[in-house]
Structure 1
Amino acid sequence: MSFSFFSRQPHLPVLIGCVLIISLLGAACGGRSEPRVNAAGDDANGNTRRGAGGDGVAEAPPVTVTTATAVAREVPSYIQSSGSLIADETSDVASQISGQVVATPVGVGAFVRQGTVIARLNDKDARLRLRQAQSGVQQAIAGVRQAEARLGLRPNGKFDASTIPEVRVVSANYDQAVAELRLAEANERRYRELVETGDVSLVVYDQYRTQRDTARARAASARQQLDVAINTARQSNQAIQSAEAAVESARSQVAIAQKAVADAVIRAPYAGYISNRPIAVGEYVTPAGIVATVLRTNPIKLQLQVPEAEIPFINNGMGISLEVEAYRDKKFAGQVTAVNPAIDPVSRAATVEAALENGDNALRSGMFATARIVRQGGNKAVFVSRSAVLGDQNTQSYRVFVIKDGIAKLRVVQIGQDEGEMIQILSGVEADEVVATSNLEQLYEGARVKQ
Structure 2
Amino acid sequence: MWSRLLTLCIILSLVAAAAWALWPRPISVETASIATGSLVVTVDEDGTSRISEVFHVSAPILGRLKRIGLHVGDAVTQGQTLASMEPVAPGLLDERTRRIAEAAVQAAAAGVTMAEAGLAQARATDTFAQEDLERSILLSERGLVSTQALQRARLAAETAQQSMDAAEATLQMHRQQLQSAQAALIQGDAPTAGPCCVNVMAPVTGRVLAVFSESEQVLQAAAPLMDIGDPDLLEIQVDVLSSDAVRIVRGARASIVDWGGAPFRAEVDQIDPIATTRVSALGIDEQRTRVTLRLLDGPETRTGLGHGYRVTAQIVVWEAAEVVLVPLGALFRTDADWSVFVIEDGTARLRTLSLGQRNGESAEVKDGLAVGETVIMHPGDTLADGGSVVAEQ
- Using structure 2 for the length normalisation, give the TM-score: 0.44
Structure holding more strand per residue: 2
Larger radius of gyration: 1
